[in-house]
A = this chain, B = another copy of it.
């Protein structure tokens, strides 16, 4: 993911980032421009009468194509945002697991580093799992990485319960988080493996293609060589929307707009080790300094 300042207008307008659709569409736009130019030349200089033009159909259907592209934009964005929410949920349950285990297990308990390792490892392996080439299922060795770690973690917690280190109530309190791990993994796999239905993808691309290809024939009579500018600009807008939607739709790749899953996995690792592996111990249970000082004082 690219960090940027959404409020800097000039920077965004004139910077042509390598993920910018303008750069990526340049070859196609050149082709469209040359094609339109050829149509205009034939119409103007070769045919005695020229083509009979009208913008009626493009106006009528311009509406449909706009609505379709916004529908496409919406669904792509929703997947991207759902992917983000799932990883946000992973951060939350990782923290909650760590916070609860920190409260439940005495300092220095030998399971603390094991649990910390598993929680942090889950995020890392899920990141790998979702970027893996091809279908996530088919990995060498046939093991499903996230399931492997979830398995270890659930067994560890259950062992603690049987051994008496976790009471029944404490075990119940942990159940939702343990279950959520696999739910998050499944949701990410679902987003990754299920693009928008084939028919829509096919239809939208065909529609854009026919719309752009027929445009010069309808407009060249009225606007002559100006049609080159018109057609190219309209093509840029329509194709950009489809291109961005394609990129956003699978938010777990290496594209410029994809989610910062690696960074999130690191955040989880740092948070979990801070909570479970000593760092806070002196501070938190006895003298929550920051919390105790002015803010709460002013609030109560």
In the complex, what distance in Å separates the CA atom of A80 from the CA atom of B75?
Answer: 12
Q: Is A67 an interface residue (CB 8 A)?
A: yes
Q: Are B299 and A123 closer than 8 Å at their CB atoms? A: yes
In angstroms, how far is the closest chain B Cβ from the Cβ of A79?
9
Given contacts A2-B198, A203-B240, contact A280 B143 (CB under 8 A): yes
8 Å CB interface, A191-229 against B: 194-203, 205-207, 209-210, 214, 219, 222-223, 226
Is A35 interfacial (CB 8 A cutoff)? no
Residue of B nearest to A222 (CB): B54
Contact assessment for B203 and A274 in the assembled complex, using a CB-CB cutoff below 8 Å: no
B186 touches A95 (CB 8 A): yes
- CB-based nearest B residue for A203: B240
Contact residues of A: prevailing secondary structure: helix
Is the pair B237, A125 in contact by a Cβ cutoff of 8 Å? no
Selected from B64, B219, B240, the residue in CB contact (under 8 A) with A69 is B64
Query: Nearest chain-B residue to A4 (Cβ)?
Result: B198
Question: From A74, which residue of chain B is reached at the shortest CB distance?
Answer: B71
Quick check: B199 and A248 within 8 Å, CB to CB? yes
Complex contact B284–A9 (CB within 8 A): no
Whether A128 pairs with B274 at a CB distance below 8 angstroms is: no
B288 touches A148 (CB 8 A): yes
Is A103 an interface position by the 8 A CB rule?
yes
A173 within 8 A of partner (CB): yes
| Closest Cβ neighbor of A154 among chain B residues | B103
| Contact pick for A118, options B2, B179, B291, CB 8 Å | B291
Q: Choose among B57, B66, B205, B277 the residue that contacts A9 (Cβ–Cβ < 8 A).
A: B205
Of all chain B residues, which has the CB nearest A210?
A: B233
Minimum CB–CB distance from A144 to chain B (whole Å) comes to 6
Docked complex: A122-157 residues within 8 A CB-CB of B: 122-125, 128, 137, 142-145, 147-152, 154-155, 157
Partner of A99, one of B142, B147, B173: B147
Known A198-B17, A237-B61; judge A55-B56 contact (CB<8 A).
Answer: yes
A44 interfacial by beta-carbon distance below 8 Å: no
* 20 A-B pairs (CB sep. < 8 Å): A4-B198, A6-B201, A13-B205, A52-B223, A56-B223, A59-B59, A60-B234, A62-B63, A67-B67, A95-B147, A121-B288, A122-B291, A124-B299, A145-B290, A148-B288, A169-B171, A173-B179, A176-B179, A177-B179, A214-B233
A118 to nearest B CB, angstroms?
Answer: 7
